[in-house]
Amino acid sequence: MDLFQKCYDYTVPDDYKAKGLYHYFHALESRQDTEVIMEGKRRIMLGSNNYLGLTVHPEVIEAGVKAYEQYGSGCSGSRFLNGTLKLHLELERELAEFLHKDGIVTFSTGFQTNLGIISALVGHGDYMICDAENHASIYDGCKLSYGRMLTYKHADMEMLEAQLSKIGDKGGKLIITDGVFSMGGDIAKLPEICALAEKYDARVMVDDSHALGVIGEGGRGTASYFGLEDKVDIIMGTFSKSLASLGGFMAASERVVNFVMHNSRPYIFSASMPPANCAAALTALRIIKREPERVKRLSDLSAYARAGFKKLGIHIIEAETPIIPVYTYEIENTFQKALELYDAGVYVNPVIPPATQPGNCLLRTSYMATLTYELIDEALDIFDKVFNKK
């Protein structure tokens, strides 16, 4: 059988294109901002993870330009060899201070970070216990390890305890959860998770990709939000969202970080984060520390949008974060509504299986601290016309 036969038989995108319902790979012609130009037309951006709006901040842009001038365009090697810059060490020191951890290691992408952490720490005879709605990179990190992955239904603490009880004392145990879940926008039940970890002698890893800069004191994330920084063993995060760049990090104790740095194949055998990305993330971090009010404004704007949807009678998932998913239920309706919104001037992200359960498709809307109430009102008016057919 031809290896490529599966490619020739795969017609799903073509089928939706033929129906005029395909909604992916729209090309941006402007910066990632609250308003963008996509395919020649202005759109209100309600589909970005640029939560604090820092991708267009003049200081962030200037830092990237200066890094290009000082260090060139890339490192041409791994951190292990010739790819460590003073910038990397500076970023790691300031992140450690911000997150109240004594060890930080940075990776080239957020996806790679989860691969690198999990595959290094979890070995033969060990177990990973994962929330069913964890990010795909966590699932792939578990596959890359030599341990056994168990899952529990989303936010089901009884099932988590049952899985931990079943393992007993057979091996090391790592509970892995998103802090803020990327599709639903809800926050992990971290107090219960940490209590169970203590009861069953397990470690806790939180993926804070969508929590850093969003919740917690000054945007410090999920552990800070619950006052559990001393109970969470590993905090993973990305620079591609609130920190307006590209890359990722692991925050943990110095000894754990040291082990990962010397045993993680995705870390050892990948080129390091480019200078401009590193400088942009470092500058964004400094802005967050200097301007914690951005986090409060993001929360206020998100609450305003959430109230607006409810006033319009549009069914959303309730949460306390800048991720507000709107139910569209079936795939074709999801694509249809996304395209109608797009044509009317609002960009959102359609979410279909396997990212959701069948029959529970969503339009994922997300918000930035740099939005205005006027722009949100304009977007809500467009939602009203599309969903309520006015």
> 106, 279 in Cβ contact below 8 A?
no
Ordered domains of the chain (ranges, CATH): 5-51+292-387 (3.90.1150.10), 58-290 (3.40.640.10)
Q: 166 is written with which tokens? A: 């079943």
Q: For residue range 184-239, what is the model confidence (pLDDT) as tens digits?
A: 999 999 999 999 999 999 999 999 999 999 999 999 999 999 999 999 999 999 99
Helix (H) or strand (E) holding 285: helix 275-290
Catalytic annotation, pick one of 241, 264, 337, 366: 241
- Alpha helices for the chain (secondary structure H): 5-9, 12-18, 58-71, 86-99, 110-121, 136-144, 157-167, 190-199, 222-226, 254-263, 265-268, 275-290, 293-311, 331-344, 373-387
What are the C-alpha distances in Å from 281 to residues 83, 261, 342?
A: 17, 20, 30
86 included as an active-site residue: no
182 noted as active-site residue: yes
**Model confidence, pTM:** 0.96
The vertex-51 CA angle with 45 and 54, nearest 5°, equals 95
Residue 270 a catalytic site member: no
Q: Tell me: the pLDDT tens digits for 26-73?
A: 999 999 999 999 999 999 999 999 999 999 999 999 999 999 999 999
Are 261 and 267 contacting, i.e. CB atoms less than 8 angstroms apart? yes
Catalytic residue, chosen from 88, 135, 173, 210, is 210
Distance CA 60, CA 243 (A): 9
What pairs with residue 174 in β-bridges? 128, 203
Residue of 119, 182, 209, 264 marked active site? 182
